Structures are given as C-alpha cells and as structure tokens.
Structure 1
C-alpha cells in the first residue's frame, strides 16, 4: 500500500478531498482563523501539500455567517460545484452550544478556483438548532444530504440525520436520524456524533463519523447498510459497537477524526483525516490550530468491511511551531 508524508498539510482540520473527473484532486478544510473558504488543486495527492490555496469566499463582518466558519466540503453535483459549510452569527455559546447553521455556495463555472461563487443561503431543516458537518452522496439515482444536528429532545450535542435532496441546497424529504451518541466511546467529554463521510464497497454502503470531544478522545465510528436497502429506513443501518479508528499514543497520534474519503492514483481507497501529535492543550481544543491533515491508504477485509489500521506516526518534521490557546 502507498505511504504518504505525515502530516500531509499542517494546520488544516476537517479535511475534504474531492477527486474530480478532470483527474485533479481538490482540497478544502477548516482554517485556524475560521474566517474563509479556500481551495487547493493538484494532479497528485501529495501535490496538495505545496499547491497554492485560493480563497473563494470570506466571511462577512456581520450577520448569520460572520463567525466560526467550520468544516467545509467541496462537491460536484448536477454539473455545479457546491461548497457546504457551517457558520455562526458570533462566537457566543448558548445552552452549551455554538450557534452554527448550515449553508451552501454554488459555482456554475468549470473552474472552482476562478469561477464566481453564489451564496445560496442556509439549508433549512425541520429543527432550528445547532447543525454542521454536511456531506452529500448519490445512490441509485437519488441525491442525499447527511449532517449532524442537535435535537433538544435528545441528550448530547449532535446526532446524524439523512434526507433526500430536491437540489443541492434544498431538502426534499423529512430527515431520519441514523445514530445518536450512546456508547461509552461516543460520550467522553461531549456526547457527539458528527463529521459523517460516505463510501461504498462491494454490496454495502458505509458511513464513518466522529465521536466524543475534539481532544485525544476524538475517534471514528462506523455505520453500514446493504446497497439494496432503503437508506431512509433507520432499521437498514447497522452500527459498530466499537470505534474503528482511534488515538495511538505509541505513534503520538491523538484524536484522529473528521474524515473524508478519496482514491489515490493507484486506485486504492484513502482515508483523509486530522489528528494532533500531542495532548497538552491549553484552553478550548477548538482553538488549538494543530489538527493537521493526514492521509492513509486502507484495505478491506474478507467480509467486505473497512480496515483502517491505526494512525501512523509523523514521518516528516513540522515547519510550524506548536501553538496553543
């Protein structure tokens, strides 16, 4: 299997890599300042590390999208480029939660780095509450939106929801809840299911997600369903009772999570994720900038299930000094 520089890109959390039909890789992630959306492009995965970052959108000074721009994803849907992201009106915490909602930008031109991006506004869901980490996938001719959201009636910060889409910024169906934080490893520090990502293999469709607080307890869980099943029926989905990718203290890799998937030039499936290489965080972990982007090729076992292995140790020196607080 292919090996990669680790970390691949420093100080970029919540990484998302899109392999486009033009054979280029497109990279987007949260920046430490939480103030903009930027895209990198490269014909190779490793080339993303040195590719220039093009800022395609900057948060306004005021309004509902004026603070804490989190977890963007770049997709190509119905012939349009789409960026999903979460934003808040301020850094205020209300009832223990930030005030994020989900938004979409659309570019109808071929090149997302030079094309004009249009704000499509907030993606409305039935509950007006903390929501973030949206992703998109297509299956059997249908378009799906998958995200994390707080339900005031359910304990915890966020659950995962799935809905069909009318267009890339409008839901078509009522959402269904696929999972909530309930297992011991999902409720350390915070009760969290967030950061979903989708991949198919064989006769199954898989959703990875992240759980617990964004420190060394952060980890990745797994849902799966048969490709032929009704994805909008929660009973179709199975949930791993154990995390599938976790902290590896011996390798000094802590809190791996918020992943996405891509394929490398050899056709191998690749796990894209962030993790820190230390645990001594001062203050809120969200404001520690050193969740670095890392990538790792992985295998599938004889039962058709993903085997992510363990987070590998850093193999190149960091160029940025450790920053905390």
Structure 2
C-alpha cells in the first residue's frame, strides 16, 4: 500500500509539472531596445515606432499585447522631432515617466539628446507632458555643452535618484564616435542635480571592434549587490553582446573607482542568436524567477533587423548574473513561474 501511495505521488508530481505551459521565442517577431516594467502585478512594455512612443500592458510576461501610442514627436525641427530611440517607462513618486532619446535630424545621428515625459495622472496610457531635454554635460546647466546622449535609465539607491546613460565626451561631427557610460544624481525625475561622471569607457578588447561602444545601460539589483549591465560590440553586427559593472558594497555610485568592470562578456550570441544586447530585467509573476528581455539580429547581415526574446536567468556562486546561452528560436520554454493559464 505504501509503495502504491509513493508511486501515485510521484505520478501526480510528474503530471502537474508537465502541465505547466510553454512559450517560444521570439516573444516579438520585430522589435528592438525592449523595456518592460512590472507594476502592481502588470507588465508594461514600452517601445518606439512611427516617430512616437507606445505602451502596452499584460498580466503575462511572455505575452506582449499590441501597444497604444501615448506620445508623438513634435513636428518641425524641434530638438526631439526625429529619431526617437529606446524609451523606458518608470513609475516614480506616483507618476509615470518615459525617458527616451531624440534628435532634430539624422542620419548622421549627431544630435541625439535624452529627454523625459511625465504622466498627467497615474495612468500609463494617459496624457504625458513633455518635460524637455535633460542636461548631460560636464558643467551643470551649461546648455551650450549639453552633450550627445542616448539610452538613459534611472534608479534609486540609498534614497537618491540617479540617471545613467551612454554619451560622447564632447560635440562631434560624425556618429562614428566612441560612446561611454555616465552617471549623475537627479534633483527630481526631470532635472539633474549634479554634473555627469564617466564610469566606463570601452577599454577592453571585447568592447572595441569597428566602433568602441558602451551603451544600453540597465541596473540589476540582487540582494545588496548593484550591477550595471550594458551592451558593447557594435549593435549592427553579430558581435553585439552584454558586459557588466558591479558597484562596490555600500559605495558612492558617483565615484568611478567604485564601479568594477567584468573581465569578460556576460552574454553573447551564438548560432541561433546573431548578437544580443540592450536588455532589461524583471521577475516572474510570483517573483521567484529572474528574466532577461533582450533583442537579437534575425541574421548575420549587418543592420538593425531585430526581434525580441525572453529567457530565465540565475546568479552564480559568486552572486554574478548567469544568463547562460541564448535559447534557440522556437524552442519550448516553461512559462514564467506563477503564470495563470486560461
């Protein structure tokens, strides 16, 4: 009888385990610079297309619904009339903010600057106020030297709000210019409270290639650890990859020496993923699993024909994020834990 009971229990566990559904990559057949934020149990996805910014909502991490346009770039030759790139949606102090890059012309893409939109209320699909360009130069409020900047993200650390972005050392006449990572403390979600500090340049061999780039920075918290995951290796090539910086324990993020760079890439493409980059991070519906959402090229041809993929990741014995290898297209992957199937 006991043996029969044990067999029944094992069978039940196997059946229930196999009942968990699956998803397949890509989760978006066309897309780039993905951003998802989990708020009150809902996943909000933000993207740019048709010279505007779009938002969608889903209770499922693996399923991205059709987005709704929440903002259109102004007409004419304003600073942000064209080239709307890499928007991020953040909920800060009761309102939604969208950080993005824009320019007044391009190519060449030499006019990009960071900007921010503020929601009128608490609805991420509601009206947004254009709060203008954000200062990203060396001397606070010297707007003549508000330098090229893209891929801005924000985060709170020890009560203060910080911005991190990819930018140039100075004004340039070509977009074939090295990109570095900068940080500044913010006075409020649309105003810098300090001048920028450079915390990373593409000084490792794996970061160089045709054009040395550090871009797409994203913060990843794990316990007391703070990681800055960023992209390097040319976004238009299959060499695109992820690398990381780690903030020293309880250290001042405005001091460059407190950011320790990894000695090798942390996530790279393979035969089924032709360059991986510009990732963001979240957790499963029940918060027991970590997930990375990233884009990859659809083939090895140089260019920006990309799709968006999702996969689970963990942390190694040293507490470093372990993303493994990109999962193949169309492979069945278990649904994120806590997903309620209908």
TM-score tier (shorter): 0.7 to 0.9
Shift of 1:116: 1.2
Aligned ranges 1:45-60 → 2 under 5 Å:
45-48=61-64, 51-60=65-74
Q: Which residue of 1 aligns with 2:189?
A: 168
Q: Which residue of 2 aligns with 1:27?
A: 45
Structure 1 position 147 matched with structure 2 position 162: no
TM-score when normalising by structure 2: 0.83
Pairs aligned (count) = 300
Q: Which residue of 2 aligns with 1:123?
A: 134
Question: For the Cα contact (< 8 Å) 1:3–1:297, is it kept in 2?
Answer: no
> Which of 257, 278, 286 lines up with 1:258 in the alignment?
278
CA RMSD between the two structures: 2.1
Shift of 1:242: 0.9
Larger radius of gyration: 2
Q: Which residue of 2 aligns with 1:111?
A: 123
> Deviations for 1:184-238, whole angstroms, at most 9, x for unmatched residues?
1111221100100001113310000001211211111100013411111111110
Question: Matched residues in 2 for 1:227 and 1:262: separation?
Answer: 22
Q: Secondary structure at the match of 2:267?
A: coil
Question: Matched residues in 1 for 2:198 and 2:24: separation?
Answer: 37
Question: For the Cα contact (< 8 Å) 1:156–1:181, is it kept in 2?
Answer: no
Question: Matched residues in 2 for 1:254 and 1:232: separation?
Answer: 34
Shift of 1:2: 9.5
Q: Which residue of 2 aligns with 1:135?
A: 153
Q: Which residue of 2 aligns with 1:86?
A: 101
> Deviations for 1:75-123, whole angstroms, at most 9, x for unmatched residues?
0111110000001101132xxx53201110000312111x210000000
Shift of 1:47: 2.6
> Which of 63, 70, 73 lines up with 2:85 in the alignment?
70
Question: For the Cα contact (< 8 Å) 2:41–2:285, is it kept in 1?
Answer: no
Q: Which residue of 2 aligns with 1:200?
A: 221
Question: Matched residues in 1 for 2:124 and 2:223: separation?
Answer: 32
> Deviations for 1:284-304, whole angstroms, at most 9, x for unmatched residues?
x2xx4x311111110111111
Question: Matched residues in 1 for 2:54 and 2:129: separation?
Answer: 15
Question: Matched residues in 2 for 1:231 and 1:186: separation?
Answer: 22
Question: Matched residues in 2 for 1:137 and 1:314: separation?
Answer: 32
Question: Matched residues in 1 for 2:161 and 2:36: separation?
Answer: 19
Question: For the Cα contact (< 8 Å) 1:7–1:316, is it kept in 2?
Answer: no
> Deviations for 1:116-165, whole angstroms, at most 9, x for unmatched residues?
10000000122422210000111111111111110039994211111111
Shift of 1:60: 2.2
Structure 1 position 7 matched with structure 2 position 26: yes
Q: Secondary structure at the match of 1:185?
A: helix
Aligned ranges 1:270-281 → 2 under 5 Å:
270-281=291-302
Question: Matched residues in 1 for 2:35 and 2:146: separation?
Answer: 26
Shift of 1:30: 3.5
Q: Secondary structure at the match of 1:297?
A: strand
Gap runs ≥5 in structure 1: 318-325
Gap runs ≥5 in structure 2: 1-19, 138-144, 333-342
Structure 1 position 239 matched with structure 2 position 261: yes
TM-score when normalising by structure 1: 0.87
Question: Matched residues in 2 for 1:316 and 1:98: separation?
Answer: 40
